[in-house]
Structure 1
Amino acid sequence: MIIVREMKSEDIEEVQKIAKTTWRSTYKGIMEDDFIEEFINVGYSKKMIKSRSKDTLFEVAEYNNLIAGFINYIPDYFGPKQMALGAMYVDPIYQRKGIGTSLLNSLVEKLPKSNTLFADIDRKNNLARIFFENRGFSFQKDINAKIGNYSFDRIRVVLDR
């Protein structure tokens, strides 16, 4: 059974574990190893998660009473009625069990009609692209993102309600 709920402060360590495991398995061969480790250490530090949770919303998915995934989203990111998906990761051992779909559905249910949900995904992350396309997202545009000294190609997908 999958339960999606708001993240609590005591969930942060599990969110960190999922981020580490998922980033390493998803982006190995797509991004440089040193960038992956640096991003995990900085972007998913306890301090950063606490800071991000002040301005954004985090939810976790429990699968058989264990935290198996999380989603982070930003209301009104690009303007009124334009929500951005900041992150969504499911522990690889729990993937293909409906957890990602449950997390995304929980977010979409919160999205009022006539609003838009954006997600930026790495161009080489075919599993993510297929996941979003299969759930009604469409390609909007190419993006070249830069974090520190690292540059990579992303695509923005959008779901209009």
Structure 2
Amino acid sequence: MAELRELRTERLRLRQWRETDLEPWAAMNADPQVREFFPEVLTAERSAASLAYFRAELAERGWGWWAVEAVATGEFIGFTGLDPVDEEMPFDGVEIGWRLARSAWGHGYATEAARAALAFGFGTLDLPEILAVTAAGNLRSQAVMERIGMTRDPADDFDDPTVPEGPLRASVLYRITR
């Protein structure tokens, strides 16, 4: 068990998951707009399993996919974090990612939380590079990647082997170095 790192920004707290996060997390994952660039929406059971997995990884490593809470209200609004790239991917490294409830879109929260995660990855974990992956059509996430200083080389684009055949399989890879 590692010391759990909690990250704070002016408006956000990236923290360990709580049982009270399950209902809004499941609602997010059942929202077709939030899951637009994923193969499917998630059942409540799959959302619960992912929450338990994220919680265990944070407890074990001290970092991972943190729950994101709005400081002003204490409301759970999504997740942001860092995680080793899945073994099935055609590259290695640590990736950054985020997913927010629709009500949290358009407030700059993804960018703010991602900047905190990048600072942690470079400053605390001493990572040389951090990656980000999204479906080629997910222009909102690509805009966040660009706002946080990441760049894309179209030669790195790939078909995500973890996504079934179809339009969501075409993926882009962004990078940022320390």
State TM-score, norm by structure 2. 0.69
In structure 2, the residue matched to 1:124 is 137
Confirm or deny: 8 A CA contact 1:73 1:84 kept in the other structure. Answer: yes
User: What letter corresponds to residue 20 of structure 1 in structure 2?
Assistant: A
Question: What stretches of structure 1 of length at least 5 have no aligned partner?
Answer: none
Match status 1:69 vs 2:78 = yes
Confirm or deny: 8 A CA contact 1:42 1:48 kept in the other structure. Answer: no
Match status 1:19 vs 2:29 = yes
SS at match of 2:160: strand
In structure 1, the residue matched to 2:160 is 145
State TM-score, norm by structure 1. 0.75
Equivalent-residue separation in structure 2 for 1:7 and 1:114 (angstroms): 22
In structure 1, the residue matched to 2:4 is none
Equivalent-residue separation in structure 1 for 2:110 and 2:170 (angstroms): 23
SS at match of 2:149: coil
Question: What stretches of structure 2 of length at least 5 have no aligned partner?
Answer: 1-9, 59-63
Q: 2:95 aligns with which of 81, 84, 90?
A: 84
53 and 73 in structure 1: CA distance in 2 versus 1, 3 angstrom threshold? farther
User: What letter corresponds to residue 135 of structure 2 in structure 1?
Assistant: D
101 and 143 in structure 1: CA distance in 2 versus 1, 3 angstrom threshold? same
Confirm or deny: 8 A CA contact 1:2 1:61 kept in the other structure. Answer: no
111 and 7 in structure 1: CA distance in 2 versus 1, 3 angstrom threshold? same
Confirm or deny: 8 A CA contact 1:69 1:100 kept in the other structure. Answer: no
User: What letter corresponds to residue 132 of structure 2 in structure 1?
Assistant: A
SS at match of 1:49: helix
3 and 150 in structure 1: CA distance in 2 versus 1, 3 angstrom threshold? same
